[in-house]
């Protein structure tokens, strides 16, 4: 399971992407409003994302967050998750055994690895752009009304 930080990050990026497609650059207040996340905490998460170059920001009037030239289709969820959870997230043991491996497996190793790999494959496929497309088409939402 993901931390709230990562979840907010994904929803925020998707919202930015949708908003950009409508020709706008949302600020953190609008973003947090539209994805139901705490304002200041969201701002902090966005800072981290810009520092890592996943999204751009512009200061001053008319500023806000944005992707340059549909860069959002090259950002998959794997990238976002890695930033906040660390790469080890995708190699962790299912019952917390340190150094669990094919060599010295915990009794849950094989079975869990299959699921974890499925998950990794999925988050590598899904991009901010692919998710935002669904929202734009009205097939999905980012906030419960």
Partner DNA sequence: TCATTAAAAGACCTTTTTATCTGTTTTAAT
Partner DNA sequence: ATTAAAACAGATAAAAAGGTCTTTTAATGA
- Minimum CB distance to a second copy, residue 98 (Å): 6
Whole-number Å distance between alpha carbons of 16 and 58: 13
Q: Is residue 33 involved in binding a second copy (CB under 8 A)?
A: no
Asked if 3 and 84 touch (Cβ cutoff 8 Å), the reply is yes
User: Within positions 93 to 132, which residues make up the interface with a second copy, using CB under 8 A?
Assistant: 94-99, 104-109, 111-112, 115, 118-119, 122, 126, 130-132
Using CB under 7 A as the binding rule, whether residue 23 contacts DNA is answered as no
| CB 13 to DNA: min, Å | 13
Residue 106 and residue 94 in contact, taking contact as beta carbons nearer than 8 Å? yes
83 binds a second copy (CB under 8 A): no
Q: How far is CA 16 from CA 40, 70, 126, in A?
A: 17, 11, 16
Q: Is residue 38 near DNA by the rule CB under 7 A?
A: yes
């Amino acid at each position: 399971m993901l931390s709230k930080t990562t979840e907010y990050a994904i929803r925020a990026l998707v919202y930015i992407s949708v908003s950009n497609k409508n020709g706008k650059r949302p600020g953190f207040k609008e973003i947090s409003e539209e994805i139901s996340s705490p304002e200041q905490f969201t701002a902090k998460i966005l800072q981290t994302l810009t520092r890592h170059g996943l999204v751009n920001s512009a200061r001053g009037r008319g500023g806000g967050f944005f992707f340059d030239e549909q860069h959002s289709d090259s950002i998959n969820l794997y990238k976002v998750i890695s930033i906040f959870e660390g790469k080890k997230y995708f190699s962790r043991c299912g019952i917390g055994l340190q150094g669990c491996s094919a060599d010295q497996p915990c009794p849950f190793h094989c079975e869990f690895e299959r699921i974890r790999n499925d998950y990794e494959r999925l988050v590598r496929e899904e991009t901010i752009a692919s998710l935002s497309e669904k929202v734009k088409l009205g097939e999905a939402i980012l906030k419960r009304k």
